[in-house]
Amino acid sequence: MVAPVDLTPLPPEFYLQDTIQVARALIGRILVRESPEGVAGGFIVEAEAYLRDDPACHAFLAARGDCQGRVRITKRNRAMFGPPGTSYVYFTYGNHYLFNAVCQPPGVPEAVLVRALEPWTGSELMARRRQRPYRQLTNGPGRLAQALGITLADNGAQLWRSHLRILAGRPLPPQLIRQATRIGIRQAADKPWRYYQVDSPWVSVRPRAG
């Protein structure tokens, strides 16, 4: 029996859990964005955690501080410093926006990158934005941001009460969630802080067999 879909936005308290656990707990939730063009969203099937003492985290050096111990907050990483449940969006590789959910209390720069979605609503809108086959709409962090219309204008949005939200959705049983190393990074690439839905064709990258 398929569990019903819960459309209640996740509260800020959800993001105060251990950030690695938040990444796992986001699998099966719904990321949705409202715009003048319509509503688009999907079930989260892949996510990975970034921590304050993690060299792969954008706020790693900022959190360590300068020679006087002062935290170095920049325009790019400011949203990562909270509050919990804030949207952190950044532009990378000259053509991709990536979406993250900020975790931990204000001042603690940790976040979860949402890497892939299974389309749930607004597929036609997503297809117009992406101009790609259906299976390529949301199977990667840059692709899902384009499909949902996420840009830097969404940076700092409150994910429990704005046009960009994460809903309770349909949490998955443990046997359907796998843990793996993160994708596309050079530092701390051995950390197994990525989670994905094992039976989903929308996952961006799967570990090689054997």
Q: Is residue 117 part of a domain?
A: yes
Lowest mean pLDDT among 1-15, 103-117, 138-152: 1-15
Domain that holds residue 124: 6-197
Residue 43 scores a pLDDT above 80: yes
CA 136 to mean position of chain CA atoms: 18
Parallel, antiparallel, or unpaired for β 6-9 and 87-92?
Answer: unpaired
pLDDT of 184: 87
pLDDT of 1: 54
pLDDT of 208: 60
pLDDT tier, 2 (very low <50, low <70, confident <90, very high otherwise) = low
Residue 68 scores a pLDDT above 50: no
pLDDT tier, 94 (very low <50, low <70, confident <90, very high otherwise) = confident
Distance from C-alpha of 33 to C-alpha of 45, rounded to nearest angstrom: 17
Q: Is residue 141 part of a domain?
A: yes
DSSP states of the chain = -PPPPEEEEPPGGGGGS-HHHHHHHTTT-EEEEEETTEEEEEEEEEEEEE-TT-TTSTTHHHHH--TT------TTTGGGG--TTBEEEEEETTTEEEEEEEESSTT--EEEEEEEEEEEE-HHHHHHHH-S-GGGSSSSHHHHHHHHT--GGGTT-BTTTSSEEEEEE-PPPGGGEEEE--SS-STTTT---EEEETT-TT-S--PPP-
Residue 8 scores a pLDDT above 80: yes
Residue 115 scores a pLDDT above 80: yes
pLDDT of 206: 76
pLDDT tier, 193 (very low <50, low <70, confident <90, very high otherwise) = very high
Tell me the pTM. 0.92
Q: Is residue 167 part of a domain?
A: yes
- Provide the token pair at 4: 């019903």
Q: Is residue 14 part of a domain?
A: yes
CATH number where 35 lies:
3.10.300.10
Contact 100/26 with Cβ under 8 angstroms? no
Task: Work out the average pLDDT over 101-123.
Answer: 96
pLDDT of 207: 65
Q: Indicate the number of domains in the chain.
A: 1
Q: Is residue 205 part of a domain?
A: no
Q: Is residue 24 part of a domain?
A: yes
Query: Across all residues in the chain, what is the average pLDDT?
Result: 90
Q: Each residue of 164-186: pLDDT tens digit?
A: 999 999 989 999 999 999 998 88
Q: Is residue 164 part of a domain?
A: yes
Q: Is residue 12 part of a domain?
A: yes
